[in-house]
Amino acid sequence: MTQPTLDVVAIGNAIVDVIAQADDAFIAEHALAKGGMQLIDAETADLLYSHMGSALEASGGSAANTLAGLAALGCKCGFIGQVADDQLGQIFAHDIRALGVTYATPLATGGVPTARCLVLVTPDAQRTMNTFLGASQHLPAAALDADLIRSAGILYLEGYLWDPDEPRKAMRDAIAIARDAGRKIAFTLSDGFVIERHRDDFMDLIDRGLIDILFSNEAEIQALTRIDGFDKAVAAVAPKVPLLVSTRSEQGAVAIQDGIRYEVAAAPVAQVVDTTGAGDLFAAGFLAAHVDGRDIEHCLKLGAIAAAEVISHYGARPEADLKALRAAAGL
């Protein structure tokens, strides 16, 4: 088995986030599920955008956000995700390459526009996401770069992208490529609605031993197991994956490896501004320490630091120097 030249290659939605402030009345008026994520069509995206206030546009997507954090922490990364040949597609491609991430997925054909996520942030810092998946949901298996996948120590998969048929097939193929090359597979459950639709698939991946690192939050792990109670849900999954990581917002995070449970408190934040990307950046910090060969407690602490940074400002990608924050924490 050859040694990897990259730390992490991720497959995920290639999305441009459009972030605006909104009050609870706006959320109710448009019948949105506060704090959640819903898929919308192009017509709904146009209508909602027309009613949003002044907005910040920034490249996003769950796995791409994680790579942004990993790159900021000095990791070598690659990304596979599809955009269209349009303005938002150019923005996404420029932004991810500017981070130093390898990105060469062919452009979508057929006129489907680049994906966008309309993010509404309420005064309590909750984010309500409305996602038009556009070109990203048509990522074909033919667009996979097998050599890129083989080149990374970890293949990181975004649960959100499991929902559409074409990228689901692509991700299954990517798992096979990575497994044949002796690489690790990390998977993030992403959201309750994804779990509801694809729970059987996810449990099959877990039961077949195809997931080495499983990321979830407190609600997701309970949805996956259909068990009420965080500790009981974690106990049901932990024996089935080599490493289970689950975040608990202000209660910190838990990881279980080889039957041993590790916990870390949430890193302090002067003010929570926007929780968009908290889980994505936690995964970035955790994986950055993991590829460095650090112990689980160290990984959890760096994950908490990265998550705390991203929730202190608008947007799902780090603004502060994560390397400096890591050094200041002695990690």
User: Domain locations in the chain?
Assistant: 6-14+61-114+134-329
**b/e per residue, 306-323, with b = 16+ CB within 10 A?**
bbbbbbbebbbbbeeebe
* 326: pLDDT strictly greater than 90: yes
> How confident is the model at residue 87, as a pLDDT?
86
Nearest to 263 by CA among 278, 275, 272, 251: 251
Q: H or E segment at 152?
A: strand 152-158
With cut-offs at 50, 70 and 90, classify the pLDDT of residue 111. Answer: confident
User: pLDDT value at position 46?
Assistant: 86
**147-190 tens-digit pLDDT:** 999 999 999 999 999 988 999 999 999 999 999 999 999 999 99
Token pair for residue 34? Answer: 């506060």
- Side chain identity at residue 239, one-letter code: P
- Quickly list DSSP for 25-81: HHHHHTT--TTSEEE--HHHHHHHHHH--S-EEEEE-HHHHHHHHHHHTT--EEEE-
pLDDT at 36: 83
Report the pLDDT averaged over residues 272-299.
Answer: 95
Question: Alpha-carbon distance 19 to 34, whole Å?
Answer: 15
Q: Do residues 277 and 315 lie in contact, with contact meaning Cβ atoms separated by under 8 Å?
A: yes
Nearest 10 degrees: CA dihedral of 297, 303, 308, 314?
-170
Question: Quick one: pLDDT at residue 163?
Answer: 86
Which residue has tokens 């290639």?
14
pLDDT tens digits, one per residue of 72-90: 999 999 999 999 999 889 9
117 pLDDT higher than 80: yes
Give the model's pLDDT for residue 35.
87
Q: Is 147 helix (H, G, I), strand (E, B) or coil?
A: helix
pLDDT at 235: 96
- Per the document, the length of the chain is 331
Q: Using CA atoms, how far apart are residues 217 and 301, in angstroms rounded to an integer?
A: 16
Which of 263, 262, 269, 190 is CA-nearest to residue 223? 190
pLDDT at residue 261, as a whole number: 97
The tokens 């033919």 sit on which residue? 142
Kindly tell me if the per-residue pLDDT of 193 is higher than 90.
no
CATH code of the region 6-14+61-114+134-329? 3.40.1190.20
Mean pLDDT estimate for the chain: 94
Beta-carbon contacts of 109 under 8 Å, excluding residues fewer than 6 positions away, are none
Q: Give me the pLDDT at residue 205, please.
A: 97
**Which tens digit of pLDDT belongs to each residue from 247-262?**
999 999 999 999 999 9
Q: Is the pLDDT of residue 285 over 80?
A: yes
Check: CB of residue 115 under 8 Å from CB of residue 81.
Answer: no
As to burial, measured by CB atoms within 10 angstroms (0-12 exposed, 13-18 middle, 19+ buried), residue 123 is exposed
Q: How far apart are CA 24 and CA 14, in angstroms?
A: 28
Q: What does the pLDDT look like over 12-27, one tens digit per residue?
A: 999 998 889 999 999 9
**pLDDT range class, residue 203, cuts 50, 70, 90:** very high
**Rounded Cα–Cα distance for residues 119 and 315 (Å):** 9
Confidence (pLDDT) at 227? 96
Helix axes 230-237, 218-225, angle to 10 degrees: 60
